[in-house]
A and B are shown apart, each in its own frame.
Chain A
Amino acid sequence: GNSVTQMEGPVTLSEEAFLTINCTYTATGYPSLFWYVQYPGEGLQLLLKATKADDKGSNKGFEATYRKETTSFHLEKGSVQVSDSAVYFCAPTPGAGSYQLTFGKGTKLSVIP
């Protein structure tokens, strides 16, 4: 089955700082890779995704590239804002037609003015 290792938090950054949240996964097939975000007191929202090797997912200034050779899907943003404060979850599927997500432990990001 799948497993995912996500950078431990919490992470505290100043506004306009560069963000990287590392995520590596194991999968026996060809997974799709997702980042979800959970803002305080809210449910999960899809942030971005990539479905095959070398694909780059992007949304709201965030980017992540599907690196099959390193089995990684690191989340990056060049300049964070206070409104980016949230918990970020990396989640692969097993691939091969299975939709079940395996969630990382989550990384809590706090951005201070």
Chain B
Amino acid sequence: SAVISQKPSRDICQRGTSLTIQCQVDSQVTMMFWYRQQPGQSLTLIATANQGSEATYESGFVIDKFPISRPNLTFSTLTVSNMSPEDSSIYLCSVVGGITDTQYFGPGTRLTVL
């Protein structure tokens, strides 16, 4: 399975600011996804990060709030913009690579917004 790292692992941010989360994979992968896990909740898919084109967002998530980049097959970023306390969550990236349909997850970024 791919080795996935995320930066930062955690952060505490002020209301109204933005945070960019990085996801790096040690090998080229087919698909990359971003999820949100609110406290005590399950995972919700934010978007599919598409290499070289705009991300595909799920219902309830918009590009202005969660801009995503994926410049190549091993790297993606998610920005949480104009943050509010409701954005306090764990943000996880996941990847699918090769011939498998299995998703592997990064360690997550724990975000607290004050």
* A binding-site residues for B, Cβ under 8 Å: 32, 34, 36, 42-46, 49, 51, 89, 93, 99-101, 103-106
Contact = CB atoms under 8 A, between A and B. Distances in A.
Contacts, number: 48
Contacts of B94: 44
Interface in B22-52: 30-31, 33, 41-45, 48
B28 to A, nearest CB: 16
A99 B101 contact: yes
Nearest to A51: B101
Contacts of B96: 99
Interface of B: 1, 30-31, 33, 41-45, 48, 90, 92, 94, 96, 101-108
A32 B96 CA distance: 13
Contacts of B103: 34, 46, 99, 101
A43 B23 CA distance: 13
Contacts of B104: 46
A42 B90 CA distance: 10
Contacts of A49: 102
A70 to B, nearest CB: 22
Given A32-B102, A43-B107, A46-B103, 7 more contacts: A34-B102, A93-B101, A99-B96, A99-B103, A101-B45, A103-B44, A104-B42
Contacts of A101: 43, 45, 103
A66 to B, nearest CB: 14
Nearest to B48: A100
B43 A89 contact: yes
A23 B31 CA distance: 26
Q: Which 3 A-B pairs have the closest CB atoms?
A: A44-B105, A43-B107, A43-B108
A45 B31 contact: no
23 contacts: A32-B101, A42-B107, A43-B90, A43-B106, A43-B107, A44-B43, A44-B105, A46-B1, A49-B102, A89-B42, A99-B30, A99-B33, A99-B96, A99-B101, A99-B103, A100-B33, A100-B45, A101-B43, A101-B103, A103-B44, A105-B42, A106-B41, A106-B42
